Amino acid sequence: MIIVDGNPISISASKSPSQGREILASLLENPILINASTRLKEVPERNFSISEHVKHVYVFQREYATVDPKLVQLVGTDEATTCVGLVIRNRSNGMTSVGHIDFPGVVDKGLTQMLQLVVDREATLDVHLIGGFDDVSTKHAICLTGPEGHKKKEGYSFPLCCKIVEALQNSQEKFHLQTLCVLGHNTKIDSYGNARPIIGGFLVDTSSGLIMPANFDKSSRSPDEIVRRIRISVSSDDPSWHGKLLETYDTHHDRFQIAPCSWMNNWGRIAFMLQQLSDSEILFKCSTSPSAEPLDFVESQRRIWSYLTKNPDWRQTFSGRKPHIFKRDNHGGWLKCV
């Protein structure tokens, strides 16, 4: 159930195919949520670097992480264009879960995953939805970074937002929605007339629950950046990950435990062919929002493909199908254990 300012939202009780649309339309017009989005957009964007030596956890696309404020000060994500960042925080103990959700097919199981360590008997759950914009492209691409198995009819962001609010409303938990900075509330037009998201990343202060717009430099998107990026793309080939968000972080031990993921050997061949594309071709073939991607999007794709070309067999990466484990060093960074 979704609650805004102490009041459950009022919608039809029937679970019709348009339920998510009705919920979303009502929420987007709510003046309290509109004001919350306006205030968030007025907060200066924080440029985060690992050199700050702050204990943080970074979440990639299609990943989630639940963090304990006793162990981690900040948790966040960025690089979101048509994706949506979902924050669920237990107001009483500060346990905070962040998911970077990229298509409707992972919402139901993903929500269950995110709630596992956040919910308790006394839980008051604060929720924030940030990301996604009014994307108008009609192009649908299936590529190494593209969400698989769904057709694009009204952009990518709108059906994703509909699914998320529908899942929240139909849950037995009570979600106190604090922020809904999505779609039209998160859209700007650049000098070329292209729609772009206003906020593509954020940080959550786990102690206070404060949300701030943010972007991360390359060093702070650790550990195991390239392998985690690859899992986003190839997880659709691995039945163990169907409908789920990818696991990354061990909440209880404050370490990363990156579960293995297998991929077909033809990913090496595909990666080699993609390497031959020009920068503009990469944007238009491999992105859901080519005009809205961050500046390092193409570079990141080329690094992924270079790795896959050199390591076409997943067993070279996950020997014995064992996870990659990283523990935190004395400066808040990460050291590989396994």
Q: What is the mean pLDDT of residues 181-197?
A: 94
What CATH class does 13-336 carry? Answer: alpha beta
| SS3 state of residue 199 | coil
Residue 62 region by backbone torsions, left for phi larger than 0, else alpha for psi between -120 and 50, else beta? left
The 10s digit of each residue's pLDDT in 26-75 is 999 999 999 999 999 999 999 999 888 899 999 999 999 999 999 999 99
Single out the residue of 119, 31, 76 nearest to residue 210, CA to CA: 76
Contact 175, 152 (CB under 8 A): no
Res 13: pLDDT: 59
Res 338: pLDDT: 63
Contact 134, 156 (CB under 8 A): no
The 10s digit of each residue's pLDDT in 315-335 is 999 999 999 999 998 888 899
Element (H, E) at 119: none
Single out the residue of 288, 309, 230, 295 nearest to residue 102, CA to CA: 288
Q: What is the pTM of this model?
A: 0.92
The 10s digit of each residue's pLDDT in 86-123 is 999 999 999 999 999 999 999 999 999 999 999 988 88
Single out the residue of 246, 260, 255, 229 nearest to residue 325, CA to CA: 255
Element (H, E) at 21: helix 19-28
Q: Find the farthest-apart pair of alpha carbons in the chain and give their distance in angstroms, rounded.
A: 55
Q: Where are the beta strands (DSSP E) in 182-331?
A: 187-189, 195-197, 202-205, 211-216, 246-247, 249-250, 255-258, 324-328
Place of tokens 């960025």: 78
| SS3 state of residue 186 | helix
Distant-in-sequence, close-in-space partners of 337: CB < 8 Å, separation ≥ 6: 255, 325, 326, 327
**Is the backbone peptide bond immediately before 223 cis, with ω within 30 degrees of 0?**
yes
Contact 28, 191 (CB under 8 A): no
Q: Indicate the range of 36-45, 65-74, 190-199, 238-247 predicted with least confidence.
A: 238-247
Q: What is the mean pLDDT of residues 9-24?
A: 82
The 10s digit of each residue's pLDDT in 145-156 is 444 444 445 789
Q: What is the mean pLDDT of residues 204-214?
A: 98
Domain ranges of the chain: 13-336
Count of residues making up the chain: 338
